Structure 1
């Protein structure tokens, strides 16, 4: 039924979302995750964990509405997810369970234990292969998240290559950490070049939190390499003007890129600025994402990032 509806609508949807610290409540002795435990200063209890899971599920479901019709997104690229247990709970035990998503994810050397994942609807995307791409840290750079690669067949029998990225943060200074994000961009482009060397007209999608805007070197390098930013010309709403807000200023730190064949089938991009994801910015005015914590104060929120939604035409066989 889902496959039939997707064909009738003629639309393939991808969502990108930084989940903001989607941790479980159990300690991993190999990771620095004690901040998100019931006994920590954040009091990250099972109740708060399950509330967070259902909130993320609610976000993903909301991204499926389009022009008065509804279908769950075909692909969802997630960043800041802790482990396989979290993804199992999200896809099998939260309000998202009836979507019947499958998933693949990384297990990277990030010191806090956060990783990236790809949810996919098995009704519209048949997974053929997936693996993690390790980033070798440069001097002065902490171990970071792996890039996730997945390959599959869409409902139109097109082979689709997907990369999910979470580049190093700006913690420690934007300029000082810029080379770290360039390191990730270089590895990403090396990987996409490997795909294109075998199949020059390959359909490639790249999604994630790059911790850089379209004006920064890492994003510029990706575009100059021949990839198209598909999350551009964003349709915005409800006062939101980017995926992330810092000190009263909206920024687009999240991006979705693609090769030319994906651009040819591009319908449009939308910022998932749903009213339930926004709250008043009492300090700077306007609105901001309704995050889980402001400082140490629990807000019963969703994420400090808003989701990106990109839609494509499904080509007939």
Structure 2
């Protein structure tokens, strides 16, 4: 092993250890059960191979972003470090992600890093998205059993193709958890265009949640997470809680940072967790406590904003300029207990 590689590895381990020591949660008893679920917008997790079926040309060695094997390996390593640090001594039970190109990059993550010791399984399917970026998840097979999953493709007009919604039925400690992972369209086509598209996809996700809740109203344990590309106060998101069996726990942010994404100096919480009252009010099995939500804002995930006062997520790219950071979003965490 080269000395430089060895030093880099040791440095990475020391960074993670220092974070754990400074940020361990003293309120969690050592004998308590914690099921941590993480969502992360990975910011363009592409491999370096051309996919002729999608528009991935920017993220090729000859492409606009000059994406290469060295940058790809650094990205995988950075994602691994983030997941381990977010677990705080124990890797999360479920890591839901978006902006992931294909199954291969997930295999490189869970098999080619020290995550291999946790035995993660993969759920992934190519979505209709034109760029080929998908929603997916990895899960610890020693904690989670998958009873089934399905991708729901959004019904959109014209040629626009968006990401699918991933539904997964999870069995954790003999209790059933329903998980929906989303990545809604941005406002690149204008505010009204983005709102219209999000409304349609929001309606689809709400329909799936309604169908699950109808099996035993108010009792089902449901989590809806993802990058919604709008705030918790947006009508497309608030429509989830109009049915009274869901609550957006993102509003109870107990983090030291006000958002997951920063645009022109303003923080926004666009990466969110919505849970059912079946989890909040549960008297046995899985449950969500009073403050289950947190933005993971480790120092190494932040950088100085060059244009505005304060920090900004340490992104892989800033525009077309490579920075070598982690992502332009911060991860979000949801902790469940068991009784």
Other-structure match for 2:331: 307
In structure 2, how many angstroms separate the alpha carbons of the residues matched to 1:170 and 1:187?
19
Asked whether 1:225 is paired with 2:243, we answer: yes
In structure 1, how many angstroms separate the alpha carbons of the residues matched to 2:31 and 2:258?
32
Asked whether 1:150 is paired with 2:168, we answer: yes
Aligned counterpart in structure 2 of residue 130 of structure 1, from 149, 154, 173: 149
Residue deviations 1:66-115, cap 9 Å, x none? xxxx3211111101101111111111112422222112023111000000
- 1:277, 1:302 within 8 Å by CA — same for their partners in 2? yes
Other-structure match for 1:34: 57
Asked whether 1:272 is paired with 2:291, we answer: no
In structure 2, how many angstroms separate the alpha carbons of the residues matched to 1:32 and 1:306?
26
Other-structure match for 1:52: 75
- 1:109, 1:144 within 8 Å by CA — same for their partners in 2? yes
Other-structure match for 1:169: 186
Residue deviations 1:148-196, cap 9 Å, x none? 11112102x1111111111111111122210100101100011111112
Task: Decide which moves more: 30-39 or 225-234.
Answer: 225-234
Which of the pair has the greater relative contact order for Cα pairs under 8 Å at 6+ separation? 1
Asked whether 1:100 is paired with 2:123, we answer: no
In structure 1, how many angstroms separate the alpha carbons of the residues matched to 2:279 and 2:69?
41
- 2:136, 2:181 within 8 Å by CA — same for their partners in 1? yes
| TM-score normalised by the chain length of structure 1 | 0.92
- How many residues are matched? 302
Other-structure match for 1:298: 322
Aligned counterpart in structure 2 of residue 258 of structure 1, from 249, 254, 275: 275
- 1:54, 1:96 within 8 Å by CA — same for their partners in 2? no
Query: SS in structure 2 opposite 1:256?
Result: strand
Asked whether 1:87 is paired with 2:119, we answer: no
Between structure 1 and structure 2, the one with the greater Rg is 2
In structure 1, how many angstroms separate the alpha carbons of the residues matched to 2:267 and 2:278?
30
